[in-house]
A and B are shown apart, each in its own frame.
Chain A
Amino acid sequence: MTDDELRQRLERFLASRLPEAESLAVTRLERSTEGFSQETFSFEVELARGGRRETRGYVAKREPEAGLLEPYDLEPEFRVLHALSDDPLPSPPTPWFERDPAVLARPFYVMERLPGEVPIPAARPDGSGPFDEGERRSLGPEVARALARLHAVSLARPDLGFLERPEPGRAAALREVARWSERVARSRLPVPPVLAEALAWLRRHAPATDEITLVHGDYRLGNFLVIREGGEAHLSGILDWEMVHLGDPLEDVGWCTSLLWRAGTPYASALLPTEEFAKLYSEASGRSVDPERLRYYELLAVVKMAAIMLTGIRAFRDGRTRDLRMAIFDHQLPFLLAGVAALRGWLPGA
């Protein structure tokens, strides 16, 4: 599908969802290069209604032909985002979901574009992290507090009732280990022994929790929208909810503080030392952060990313994607396996 055809199809779709618009045009359509999973299109809609003209920014997320989190189902993510559209949490208001392949060939949803930019989650050319000191100091606490807010979303609300709720106890952790074990198996690639041992360890040591909350599942540096001004940085959006589920809230904390997102710094998500991040989260949530349980979820985070990479490598080997970024996971995986070895205490420096 060419960009022009995509634009025309989006216009027809939006006209059906905004019947009060007297005229409507999609402009500034761009495909994002940042995501590794769903296809992302950013665009503006110029519309006239009630005799007035206005321009609105939107982002469409479409199911990819092959990707890191297959098999795909965008609907749960859409339903959560739609439910949270009026929540103070800075998640993008998300009005529309469409499954009909006649519209854009594959299912997609449309959300409002929030202000801010996604920081490149990597060290700068001079080796420093992606944020200056003032930016880290202003953004870090906001990120910790927003996570606490996310975990405080009421699960009693009926629009979130479709999410499967694990029983209190070890079920939440065990379900995640099973989910990622299954993805490793589904890749049909030789399982690196380090990864196999780590999965077995995670099964044996699954921690118990009495608290089940909404879990974002991918709460980390590359999924934050940030506004930088006056030497500070502020959180304006939380994106990419495709791994959202109910579970142990410390799973999100461990993902965010894991070695995956440090971007050349010693800090959780390149923002704050892990202990400080955990303390801020703890103060905001009223929930203690047990270091041992956090360590467990930091290991699960690396294992989970390894499973995601194996899925990408499989898609590439099967010829289901021509995205060479999937192939370079073959060169990233050894770093993860060394990370697993470090977290298991076999190598120094985790």
Chain B
Amino acid sequence: MLIPPEELLDGAVATLLEAVLPALGTRFARSQLYAVVDVLRNLRDRVEPRCAGLAAEAASAEAALRRAAEALRPTAPAAAESLSRALDALPTAPIAARLEALGPALVAAFETLESLPPAAAEAAVLARSALAGHLAAQALRDLAPLKPSLLAEISRG
């Protein structure tokens, strides 16, 4: 997720007060809206990302990068070393910072694969497959907690 929970809640509160409140026509609706704002404001500092999920995600990304490095080592040792060094340079804690740094490391790994000579093509395929396997699984894990979209209702207004 690219919007931190506290920013999301602040934005929701601002929208309710600035855009929704002026359009409400009854005292009951306004009082309910203020109650929602009260709930959101107090929720703001109690929401934290689930650390267990972050740790598992980081471990999966790290394992994929290590598998990619191992695949490259026989024919492209410099590239393998580059991936390993990137892993070693990652912050170990907090886990959110480690996970955040793993994203650019994965992007850099793909860029490294792009620059390999034809002689390392087979190893590059294996390395790419390791990275892609992680990203595909991550894509599915990211979908799992999402609720059904209300886009149709949002469009209808």
Contacts and interface: CB of A to CB of B under 8 A. Distances in A.
Query: Which one of A34, A121, A193, A328 has the greatest number of beta carbons of chain B within 10 Å?
Result: A193
Contacts, number: 108
A105 B60 CA distance: 51
A193 B103 contact: yes
Contacts of A333: 2
Nearest to A2: B22
Given A190-B104, A196-B107, A122 B151 contact: yes
Interface in A145-197: 189-194, 196-197
A334 interface: yes
Interface string B5-25: 001100110110011000000
A325 B14 CA distance: 13
Query: Which one of A196, A204, A319 has the greatest number of beta carbons of chain B within 10 Å?
Result: A196
Nearest to B102: A193
Interface in A313-349: 313, 316-317, 319, 322-325, 327-328, 330-335, 337-338, 340-341, 344, 346-347
Nearest to B141: A334
A34 B152 CA distance: 10
B15 A347 contact: no
Interface residues of A, number: 41
B155 A120 contact: yes
B49 to A, nearest CB: 13
A308 to B, nearest CB: 14
B156 A322 contact: no
The majority secondary structure among interface residues of chain A is helix
B116 interface: no
B143 A197 contact: no
Contact of B110 (A196, A328, A334): A196
A190 B15 CA distance: 25
Given A190-B103, A338-B140, A200 B111 contact: yes
Contacts of B7: 317
Nearest to A124: B152
Contacts of A193: 103, 106-107, 110, 131, 135
Contacts of A338: 139-140, 142-143
B52 interface: no
B66 to A, nearest CB: 16
Contacts of B119: none
B127 to A, nearest CB: 12
Interface in B128-157: 131-133, 135-136, 139-140, 142-143, 146-147, 149, 151-152, 154-157
Given A120-B152, A324-B12, A189 B139 contact: no
B114 A34 contact: no
A197 B152 contact: no
Interface of B: 1-3, 7-8, 11-12, 14-15, 18-19, 100, 103-104, 106-107, 110-111, 114, 131-133, 135-136, 139-140, 142-143, 146-147, 149, 151-152, 154-157
Given A322-B18, A324-B15, 6 more contacts: A120-B155, A194-B135, A196-B107, A327-B3, A327-B11, A338-B140
The 9 residue pairs across chains A and B that have the minimum distance between CB atoms: A122-B152, A33-B157, A346-B136, A193-B106, A334-B142, A338-B139, A196-B107, A346-B132, A341-B139
